[in-house]
Amino acid sequence: MNNTQSRIYLASQSPRRRELLKQIGVHYEMLLLRNNPERNVDVDEVVLKDELPEEYVLRVCREKSEAAWNSMLWRNLPPSPVMTADTIVTKGGLILGKPTDNQHAKEILRTLSGSEHLVMTAVSLAFEDRYEYKLSTTKITFAELDEDRINRYIFSGEANDKAGAYGIQGRASAFIERIEGSYSGVVGLPLYETVQLLRSFGIATP
């Protein structure tokens, strides 16, 4: 496949992923997954019984990829590679998802306080019957967070809709004592792995 002049579709609503693709000069169009029974594009993000964090994030990424490709076909869009990604925060084998409310966000941040956790981001690229993926795993060490610090962070609104109730690119960067791995992977799209995928599909990258 020779796609050196081609665009890709990005099936993600994350503004951070869009910004990261722009950062490396990749041309893309948005491909939003709309819940519609006729399109069969729903993705089950419930953790399955005995499913390990790595298995979970790869499965969800794969299902998003399949749903996005089917959505593109259903809408009769010009075929191009479809990129999807999924990010989770995990500690002690448990997946700490997005907070459901402020109290849940506080509980998550208390769990992360003064300890290490992992951020896993899977990124995939699909075209026709070809599917490739990469997994980025980064170890984060958090400082001790007292209740006042947690409350002020929750009040800022940054914890909303973020895996692990924090965003490394915002105020929570001050919580991090150490990072071992990919900063962009923690933001939501590991650029090194993403470029590897794009190049393997013949798509021009920096």
pLDDT in tens, 50-107: 899 999 999 999 999 999 999 999 999 999 999 999 999 999 999 999 999 999 999 9
State how far Cα 142 lies from the chain centre: 20
Using only C-alpha atoms, what is the Rg of the chain? 18
With a cut of 80, say whether residue 166 has pLDDT above it. Answer: yes
- Mean pLDDT, range 185-189, rounded to an integer: 96
Whole-number average pLDDT of the chain: 91
- Mean pLDDT, range 141-163, rounded to an integer: 96
In a domain, 3, yes or no: no
**SS3 helix, strand, coil % of the chain, rounded to 5?**
35, 25, 40
In a domain, 37, yes or no: yes
In a domain, 95, yes or no: yes
> What residues make up the domain containing 84?
8-200
Three-class DSSP category at 17: helix
Higher-pLDDT residue of 106, 38: 106
With a cut of 80, say whether residue 176 has pLDDT above it. Answer: yes
Q: Which residues are catalytic?
A: 86
In a domain, 205, yes or no: no
pLDDT at 34: 60
Whole-prediction pTM: 0.90
In a domain, 206, yes or no: no
In a domain, 186, yes or no: yes
Closest-CA residue to 176 (of 166, 190, 161): 166
With a cut of 50, say whether residue 36 has pLDDT above it. Answer: no
- Listed in order, strand segments (DSSP E) in the chain are 8-10, 28-30, 82-91, 94-96, 116-127, 130-142, 176-180
In a domain, 42, yes or no: yes
In a domain, 134, yes or no: yes
Q: What is the dihedral of CA 42, 119, 163, 125, to 10 degrees?
A: -30
pLDDT at 43: 76
